[in-house]
Amino acid sequence: MNFDRISIPAHGQRIGLDEATGRPVVPDQPVIPYILGDGIGVDVTPAMIRVIDAAVAKAYDGARRIAWVELPAGERSFQATGEWLPQVTLDAFQHFRVGIKGPLTTPIGGGIRSLNVAIRQTLDLYANVRPVYYIQGLPSPVRHPEHMDMILFREATEDVYAGIEWQAGTPEADKIIRFLRQEMGVTAIAEDDAAGTGIGIKPISQRKTRRLVRKAIAYAVAKGKASVTLVHKGNIMKFTEGAFRDWGYQEARENFSAQTVSEQEVAAQHGGQAPAGKVVINDRIADNMLQQILTRTTDYQVLALPNLNGDYLSDAAAAQVGGLGIAHGGNIGDEVAVFEAVHGTAPKYAGLDKANPSALLLSGVMMLDHMDWDDAALLIRQAIGRAITDKMVTYDLARQLEGATELSCSAFAQAVIDRL
Ligand code: NAP
């Protein structure tokens, strides 16, 4: 691979891969490629790097250090080179295996639907993993935000992300509609509506469902979680969403039979009490699940979801514990992982040193967890908690917290560093 366009520090080492476990093998000075990002990326990404560097230095007494490598992408890259997502960026994430990105503007027109989707699909980062838990002191619209402690495994390469769509009135839409009406006997699109109907197709496959559910169950088993819930809309879309549920159960039966038990088996064979040490596999219809996260929050720990359900559920869950300024995640494949905040570029705050860097910082903490740099991760988690309890927060939280001190993005990063 040709990395002439990017500057790799001489001391930086490539993260390896343990073929047997699929886990990264992390040297003491790993190269971590990152995308600064558009909009508030210029504020939150440097803040994240400062805090992580400080925590790593403190946790390991200087014996470990990240060799950060900036990669071109997004609007800044487009203005400089005419490329939204240069090949070198994809190659570097692939080669160095673990990276992090700031938010990217979605180009309007020009053939790219979304840079984030392109990165996930090209690198096959099929599990969009989003932990949602409460940090003491955060403002919340619910009475018991501390009940929320879930992790969502959202499929990130198919379903609506496959992007199979045709605009109403185009020859392509016309062709598909004619095919559906004439050859497939579809009567749901009336003749009168044919010219004014857009078409979308969502594929959900057995292989991609099973590898996603496998990740969710493996996580639940490793962390001793009580259950994994398959969230679907199988009552309406039987052969996509319903198949997601069925293949999910099949994955549990065939690959985790010793560690899991289905909710039906718990009821029929175990008197309603899950056997000790077994992860219960259950399923819920997506609309019901949206109310369950509010009404029976503590019943759920690990969720596995097709793409669109995961999008809705993760924002709804995040809203219960602090919202977009906090919501974080990672895109994880079999060999490569790229971490990112859930929020976008928030253009109205771009460059104002105002946005909350916590979401990207907590994504960085997930990255440290993924690298097994647990001590540094823990230091940051605790320090963010202390800053929030001290009510030293950015504007988004300050406006909801009585008596809070409103800090800029960089001052919040410093407040976290001061509490490491
Ligand atoms: P957004 O950028 O997430 O911002 C929406 C609102 O959320 C902001 O106006 C702000 O609310 C709040 N917010 C977001 N990030 C925050 C932070 N770090 N700290 C505090 N508040 C924060 O969503 P959008 O305006 O719909 O999207 C803007 C652009 O980002 C679009 O081009 C979109 O495609 C792109 N996008 C990129 C990603 C990604 O790169 N992963 C994800 C989503 C969207 P208040 O104004 O109420 O304070």
CATH (domain of 31): 3.40.718.10
Q: In the chain, how many domains are there?
A: 3
Both 325 and 338 in one domain: the answer is no
Residue 194, pLDDT > 90, answer no
Alpha carbon distances (Å) from 394 to 137, 328, 353, 415: 13, 16, 10, 11
Separation between Cα atoms, residue 254 and residue 274, nearest integer Å: 19
Is 363 near ligand 1, meaning CB less than 6 Å away?
A: no
Helical ranges in 132-274 per DSSP H? 171-178, 206-223, 241-255, 263-269
Separation between Cα atoms, residue 167 and residue 157, nearest integer Å: 21
CB contact at 8 A, 164 and 202: yes
Alpha carbon distances (Å) from 44 to 47, 128, 346, 379: 5, 21, 11, 19
pLDDT in tens, 327-338: 999 999 999 999
Is 340 near ligand 1, meaning CB less than 6 Å away?
A: yes
Residue with tokens 């001793």: 224
Higher-confidence position of 117 and 366:
366
Is 103 near ligand 1, meaning CB less than 6 Å away?
A: yes
pLDDT in tens, 43-59: 999 999 999 999 999 99
Residue 191 belongs to what domain range? 160-202
Both 209 and 175 in one domain: the answer is no
The mean per-residue pLDDT over the stretch 206-233 comes to: 97
Both 4 and 109 in one domain: the answer is yes
Q: Atom 10 of ligand 1 has which residue's CA nearest to it?
A: 346
Indicate the residue type of 330: G
For a pLDDT cut of 70, what percent of the chain falls above it? 99
Separation between Cα atoms, residue 251 and residue 249, nearest integer Å: 5
Both 249 and 153 in one domain: the answer is yes
Sign of the CA dihedral with 159 first, then 162, 167, and 173 last: negative
- Give the model's pLDDT for residue 109: 63
- Give the model's pLDDT for residue 47: 98
Separation between Cα atoms, residue 265 and residue 378, nearest integer Å: 38
> Which residues, including other chains, have CB under 8 Å from residue 77's CB and lie 6 or more apart?
83, 84, 85, 86, 89
Both 270 and 139 in one domain: the answer is yes
How far, in Å, from the CA of 114 to the mean position of ligand 1?
14
- Give the model's pLDDT for residue 69: 97
Where does the pLDDT of residue 107 fall: very low under 50, low under 70, confident under 90, or very high at 90 and above?
A: confident
pLDDT averaged over the chain? 95
Where does the pLDDT of residue 361 fall: very low under 50, low under 70, confident under 90, or very high at 90 and above?
A: very high
233 is known as an active-site residue:
yes
Separation between Cα atoms, residue 201 and residue 10, nearest integer Å: 48
Residue 167, pLDDT > 70, answer yes
- 1-10, 317-326, 406-415: which range is least confident on average? 1-10
Where does the pLDDT of residue 111 fall: very low under 50, low under 70, confident under 90, or very high at 90 and above?
A: low
Q: Atom 35 of ligand 1 has which residue's CA nearest to it?
A: 344
pLDDT in tens, 283-299: 999 999 999 999 999 99
Which of 170, 202, 234 is a domain's end point? 202
